[in-house]
Amino acid sequence: MDFNFRKDIRFNDFGRAECTEISPVAGALEDISLSGCKVHYDAPVSINMENDYEIHFRLSRAGKDALVLMCHPQWFNQKDDGSSEVGFLFLHSLDSEALQSYILQLQKEEMVEKFDGIMPQGDTCQFV
């Protein structure tokens, strides 16, 4: 059985995570929540689990400006194919409010998708 005890809902989203302290090449955002995210790197990276990192996130629905967030690594996974995954906790940052707005936008979009999925599709709808 797979249980998810996360405090915040995670959203699958696309974006870039840029931090030259971690890697000269941007990582790919795999999912994001109000409290943290998961980032995939195509190459091995070196993470100091004691450090905080300033990461510039270029999110798919946030326009051209990056969100700059302070992050603390929670877990690190070096894969057999040479790629790496890192789970980050978001710390309070100047862009924390912008992150909240972004997550709210993702929540609204998900609710609309779910609602559209249960409503009849077609040109007409008849109520009896």
Confidence at residue 124, expressed as pLDDT on a 0 to 100 scale: 60
Neighbours of 102 (CB within 10 A): 22
Instruction: For residues 103 and 88, give the distance between their C-alpha atoms in angstroms, rounded to a whole number.
Output: 16
What pLDDT, on a 0 to 100 scale, did the predictor assign at position 120? 57
pLDDT of residue 3: 44
Q: Which helix (H) or strand (E) holds 109?
A: helix 96-118
pLDDT digits (tens, 9 = 90+) for 88-125: 999 999 999 999 999 999 989 887 766 655 555 555 65
What domains are there in the chain, each with its CATH number? 11-99 (2.40.10.220)
Beta bridge partners of 38: 31, 87
- Look at residue 61 in the predicted model and tell me its pLDDT: 80
Residues in the chain where the model's pLDDT stays below 50 = 1-3
Give residue 64's pLDDT: 78
Query: What does the pLDDT read at residue 6?
Result: 52
What pLDDT is recorded for position 89?
98
Beta bridge partners of 58: 16
